[in-house]
A and B are shown apart, each in its own frame.
Chain A
Amino acid sequence: MTAARIWALHLALIAALFAAQYLLPPYHVTNLARIMVLAVFAMGYNLAFGYTGLLSLGHALFFAAGMYGGGLLSYHLGWTALPALIAGLAAGGMMAGAVGLLALRTTGVSFMIVTLMFAQAGYLTILYFGPTTGGDEGLNLPAAGRSLLGFSLSADGPRYLVALGLFSTALLCCLGIARSRLGRIMVAMRENEERSRMLGYNPFTVKLIALVLSGLFSGLAGAAYGVLFGYVGASFATIQYSILPMLYVLLGGAGTVIGPFLGALLMFYLIDFASGLTSAYLFFVGAALVTLVLFAPKGILGTIRERWLGWLP
């Protein structure tokens, strides 16, 4: 019964997003395409932070690895979108694996600082190789690089469907991981690493797997953002893009499958709405986070799960 509810909820979300392209005004349809890609990024962050307890400040590196992993192949070698997306996925995963092998030797605040340091090094590397990467200015991807199976991703319809396809795949994968044995071990690591070790699980291996999965999601999101919106730039590797998925996850609910999407949706529109009112719109973001910490420290869906819907994954 619970499983049926869970599947129904997630499939209903996908169905609602499919219907949204026909029901919403064009402005919001494009926004939703952006939000779905950012939600994939946040879902990746959630696997590391929400499920495994790895508080990273370096996820912009994985997002940028995917963006440049796919984007540079499109720009310089004329790859089309599908292989570019696969390359971005692989680049994000490999980058996370490489960073994880070193950073996971630390925990807590040290882990945050080491991941932040790696991300900053990645950002400066992009700038250093400016003639290839476009440096801080970035690159506009050519039309061929934004073509998927003959469809141009610069058109609103195909772009939305590709974003929805990636989001749906990521959501169902995330749900599958959360409900799997691996997902439960990840949560065990988050809750009590020492006890998990005593039960025979190797924390380093589990956390590395979680970080690589997180990197795969982040890399895919980065590559998708590049091919769907036509721009690859170093600003996506800055600290801001490590903080954003954290905010999405905290707002929506860490350790919930739909939470990252909800957080991305609300944060996107909070900024969009507030920036039309005042240049101090980050005040609204801050106020939302303070309110969250005071009244719903587990995020929106985390609180709902705690109080009313205990079956939410």
Chain B
Amino acid sequence: MKTAKTFQPSRRLILKAGAAGMLASAMPSFVGAQGAPIRIGFQLHRTGIGASYGRWYERTAQAALKLINEGGGINGRPVEILFEDDATDPKRGSEVVEKLTVQAGCDVVMGTLFSHVVIGSAPRAGELKVPYLVCSEGYHVASGMLNRWTMQPGITDVRSQISAMAPWVGANLGKKVTMIFPDFAFGHDHRDFFTKAMAAQGGEVIAQIAIPPTETSFTRYFPQIPADTEVLYHVMVGPAVLTFVKELGEFYGSGAKPQIFGFIDSLEAVDTATPGLEFLEGTHFWEGHNRVTPADAGEHEAAYRAAVGVDDMGASVSDAKDVSTYSHMFSTWETLFAIKAGMEAAGYTGPADRQKFVEAMEAMADLPYGMERPQGAKRFNGKTHQVFGTQNISQVQGGKLIRVHQTSMEDGAYEDAVDYTAMAF
């Protein structure tokens, strides 16, 4: 009969095992902190009225992410982006900010284009004290209506864009302008700022034609355009933009027409060579970033296009009919690089450093042209949380958008309306 031996560890063995256990339990968290990725939440228009933008914003952000990670990430840590659809709806947008911040544990959240989603989401970002970096265009960040946690470092706002455009329009196209714009806040920004800017140039807006947002056919509005109109200024957004432009062409036919100046929003993600748009030949557009590679494009333009998968005509390299939202989508790229710069300046290590990150962003000023900013050099105003940059005017020539003018950064400057740095966090 065997006698069972009981295991009786010595005191020394217990101490050794305890020490080893403590070391082992400490190691994974130490190693993990070194390699734990920085998580960036991205509130994306995957569905709803902004879906055509969302698709390209996601591709552009993925391309920038790849480049950032290939370059060593942020502060030596890898970066990952968590995309979540906001359905282009403010209620869902706010819920998405919550989900990305609280459930997914993102360090910062990026917001996307449509103003109502940004404005609806900003209060929750402020409550959660999470940096909310938006790629919108409305005059809402710099107007002071949001909070200290909301910033727009990747794209200029509509007030700046219009202020920069108006002098050129007045000097080159005409002084008597009729405006056609959507009858909601985005259109009202255009109406108010352009009317004021034209007056400053000695010009005059002689008619303002507001199109109700539910409208699907536009022909009945065109007879309201006064006969003495020298410049027709149009800006439309949403799924009906192509109908709008086509019906405008049918209205004028092959007869005489005024000079036409539009914001590319009316034709974003639409091929300018689409049948029915021939009348646009010779007309002008504002572009944030030129869809067709300009002859004098910067040295990083080709690399940026290759990275986001867009050809020299602004279409997907895999499908020439898939026209990108090229004029706007650089904003996600530049915002990601701004986040990288801000986090590195702040020595960001985790959510406890979110306030330091915002302060580091506020301390930014000159942002030079480079691969980080392929659209052009920028200047970030830390007080208003808004970036300023150059704008482009293109003319449709042979069915292509050819750049004919680039504004200076100063053309789009305006006085500060807010000092966010004086606000509490």
Residue with the greatest number of chain A CB neighbours at <10 A, chosen from B99, B127, B186 = B127
Q: How many residues of A contact B (CB 8 A)?
A: 37
Q: Tell me what chain A mostly uses at the interface: helix, strand, loop, or mixed.
A: helix
Q: Flag if A154 contacts B116 (CB, 8 Å).
A: no
Q: Which of A120, A130, A231, A240 contacts B94 (CB 8 A)?
A: A231
Q: Answer yes or no: B281 CB below 8 A from chain A CBs.
A: no
Q: Flag if B120 contacts A135 (CB, 8 Å).
A: no
Q: Flag if A27 contacts B90 (CB, 8 Å).
A: no
Report the stretch among B138-146, B302-310, B321-329, B361-369 that lies at the interface.
Answer: B138-146
Q: Which of B87, B95, B102 contacts A26 (CB 8 A)?
A: B102
Q: Flag if B116 contacts A137 (CB, 8 Å).
A: yes
| Smallest beta-carbon distance B45→chain A, Å | 10
Per-position contact with A for B117-135: 1 when CB-CB < 8 Å, else 0? 0011011101100000000
| Smallest beta-carbon distance A238→chain B, Å | 9
| Bound-state Cα–Cα, A25 to B184, Å | 39
Q: Chain B residues with Cβ under 8 A from A272's Cβ?
A: 95, 99
Q: How many residues of B contact A (CB 8 A)?
A: 37
Per-position contact with A for B73-95: 1 when CB-CB < 8 Å, else 0? 00000000000110101111011
Q: Chain A residues with Cβ under 8 A from B213's Cβ?
A: 127, 136
Per-position contact with A for B213-231: 1 when CB-CB < 8 Å, else 0? 1100000000000000000
Q: Flag if B146 contacts A30 (CB, 8 Å).
A: no
Q: Chain B residues with Cβ under 8 A from A120's Cβ?
A: 214
Report the stretch among A184-192, A195-203, A274-282 that lies at the interface.
Answer: A274-282
Q: Answer yes or no: B202 CB below 8 A from chain A CBs.
A: no
Q: Answer yes or no: B350 CB below 8 A from chain A CBs.
A: no
Q: Flag if B103 contacts A235 (CB, 8 Å).
A: no
Q: Answer yes or no: B373 CB below 8 A from chain A CBs.
A: no
Q: Flag if B90 contacts A140 (CB, 8 Å).
A: no
Contacts between chains A and B (CB distance < 8 A), count: 96
Q: Flag if A229 contacts B94 (CB, 8 Å).
A: yes
**Residues from 24 to 48 in A contacting B, C-beta threshold 8 Å:** 25-27, 30-31, 34
**Residues from 139 to 178 in B contacting A, C-beta threshold 8 Å:** 140, 145-147
| Bound-state Cα–Cα, A282 to B94, Å | 19
Q: Chain A residues with Cβ under 8 A from B99's Cβ?
A: 27, 272
Q: Answer yes or no: A313 CB below 8 A from chain B CBs.
A: no
| Bound-state Cα–Cα, A130 to B184, Å | 7
Q: Chain B residues with Cβ under 8 A from A140's Cβ?
A: 119, 122-123, 145-147
Given A27-B103, A154-B123, 17 other A-B residues pairs in contact with their CB atoms under 8 A: A120-B214, A127-B213, A130-B185, A136-B186, A137-B186, A138-B116, A138-B119, A139-B145, A154-B126, A229-B94, A229-B123, A230-B127, A231-B90, A235-B116, A236-B91, A279-B46, A279-B47
Take A140-B123, A235-B116 as given contacts and tell me if A134 and B185 are in contact as well, using a CB distance cutoff of 8 Å: yes
| Smallest beta-carbon distance A192→chain B, Å | 38
| Bound-state Cα–Cα, A31 to B95, Å | 8
Q: Chain A residues with Cβ under 8 A from B92's Cβ?
A: 271
Q: Flag if B123 contacts A230 (CB, 8 Å).
A: yes
| Smallest beta-carbon distance B312→chain A, Å | 29
**Residues from 226 to 267 in B contacting A, C-beta threshold 8 Å:** none
| Bound-state Cα–Cα, A231 to B87, Å | 17
Q: Answer yes or no: A245 CB below 8 A from chain B CBs.
A: no
| Bound-state Cα–Cα, A276 to B86, Å | 11
| Smallest beta-carbon distance B136→chain A, Å | 10
Q: Chain A residues with Cβ under 8 A from B87's Cβ?
A: 275
| Smallest beta-carbon distance B153→chain A, Å | 20
What is the chain B residue whose CB lies nearest that of A134?
A: B185
| Bound-state Cα–Cα, A31 to B115, Å | 23
| Bound-state Cα–Cα, A276 to B184, Å | 31
What is the chain A residue whose CB lies nearest that of B86?
A: A275
| Smallest beta-carbon distance A70→chain B, Å | 15
Q: Which residues of A contact B (CB under 8 A)?
A: 25-27, 30-31, 34, 120, 124, 127-128, 130, 134-141, 154-156, 229-231, 233-236, 240, 271-272, 275-276, 279, 281-282
Q: Chain A residues with Cβ under 8 A from B124's Cβ?
A: 229-230
**Residues from 366 to 408 in B contacting A, C-beta threshold 8 Å:** none
Q: Which of A31, A138, A154 contacts B127 (CB 8 A)?
A: A154
Q: Flag if A275 contacts B84 (CB, 8 Å).
A: yes
| Smallest beta-carbon distance B258→chain A, Å | 27
| Bound-state Cα–Cα, A128 to B115, Å | 17
| Bound-state Cα–Cα, A136 to B120, Å | 11
Q: Chain A residues with Cβ under 8 A from B85's Cβ?
A: 275, 279, 281
Q: Answer yes or no: B98 CB below 8 A from chain A CBs.
A: yes
Instruction: Rank and list the top 9 A-B pairs by shortest CB-CB distance, nearest first.
Output: A230-B123, A136-B184, A137-B185, A135-B185, A27-B102, A27-B103, A279-B46, A231-B120, A137-B115
| Bound-state Cα–Cα, A215 to B336, Å | 45
| Smallest beta-carbon distance A234→chain B, Å | 8
Q: Flag if B214 contacts A137 (CB, 8 Å).
A: no
| Bound-state Cα–Cα, A150 to B140, Å | 29
Q: Answer yes or no: B16 CB below 8 A from chain A CBs.
A: no
Residue with the greatest number of chain A CB neighbours at <10 A, chosen from B47, B91, B99, B186 = B91
Q: Flag if A124 contacts B214 (CB, 8 Å).
A: yes
Q: Chain A residues with Cβ under 8 A from B94's Cβ?
A: 229, 231
13 contacts between A and B (CB under 8 A): A27-B98, A27-B103, A120-B214, A136-B116, A137-B186, A138-B116, A140-B119, A140-B123, A140-B147, A230-B123, A230-B127, A235-B91, A272-B95
